Chain A
Amino acid sequence: DGGITQSPKYLFRKEGQNVTLSCEQNLNHDAMYWYRQDPGQGLRLIYYSQIVNDFQKGDIAEGYSVSREKKESFPLTVTSAQKNPTAFYLCASTPRGGNEQYFGPGTRLTVT
């Protein structure tokens, strides 16, 4: 299961705190994505980045922020402005010109 990694696997935070989820890939992929997965709702796109130093909002970007300073890394910060942050977060990547999205193992975030 190498290639794209996420850490930690489980994360617990108190309400009002910002938290950063890590996503690293050694596949030399250009594009990276963050999805949120909730029961019965499939995967919803938060942010995506096609190249270093550039990223775009997805369908549910409010309350989240990202950076893409290195090709290998695409961290996601869940801010205190996100109203319902408890969810399973998946990172993915695709090679240049490629179609298939390769997913990381995910981080389950619980905010109480």
Chain B
Amino acid sequence: GENVEQHPSTLSVQEGDSAVIKCTYSDSASNYFPWYKQELGKRPQLIIDIRSNVGEKKDQRIAVTLNKTAKHFSLHITETQPEDSAVYFCAASKYDYKLSFGAGTTVTVRA
């Protein structure tokens, strides 16, 4: 099955700086790559996603890039704020409905 690796496992940034989380996947047939944010004690929520026919997607301060050749995709958060502190999960899927998740990255934004 699909194997998704996510790095780093923890990330501490100064407020206002950028944060980058990277994921690699094993199955070249995967075509859907969502990112979820999980705040402490809450449920995961989708923040952005990208399909394999697109190389980059941006939504305000967050962006995702995809390199199909290298089989990796990244989440970029610019101008980080304290409310960005959370656990972020990447995922990959071939059929949209069955996701394989990375292990998660705990992001801490220092004020």
Interface residues in chain A, defined as those with a beta carbon under 8 Å from any beta carbon in chain B? 1, 31, 35, 40-45, 48, 50, 58-59, 90, 94, 98-101, 103-106
Measuring CB to CB, which residues of chain B are less than 8 angstroms from any residue of chain A? 1, 6, 9, 32, 34, 42-46, 49, 89, 96-104
Q: Tell me the minimal C-beta distance from B59 to chain A in angstroms.
A: 14
Chain B, Cβ-Cβ closest to A41: B103
Q: What are the residues of chain B within 8 A of A43 when measuring CB–CB?
A: 44, 89, 99, 101
- Chain A nearest CB: distance from B105 CB in Å? 10
- Chain A residues, Cβ within 8 Å of B45: 103
Residue of A nearest to B91 (CB): A43
- B residues in contact with A106, CB < 8 Å: 43
Closest B residue to A38 by beta carbon equals: B103
Q: What CA separation (Å) do A31 and B101 show in the bound complex?
A: 18
Give the docked Cα–Cα distance between A99 and B104 (Å): 20
Please tell me if the beta carbons of B46 and A101 are within 8 angstroms of each other in the complex: yes
Closest chain A residue, CB of each to CB of B93: A99
Query: What residues on A are CB-neighbors of B34 within 8 Å?
Result: 99-101
CB-based nearest B residue for A99: B96
Given A31-B97, A42-B89, A42-B101: A105 in contact with B49 (beta carbons within 8 A) = no
Name the CB-closest residue of A to B42: A105
The residue that B97 contacts in the complex, of A42, A44, A94, with Cβ under 8 A, is A94
CB distance from B86 to the nearest CB of A (A): 14
Contact of B103 among A35, A42, A98 (CB under 8 A): A42
Cβ-defined partner of A50 (8 Å) among B43, B89, B97 = B97
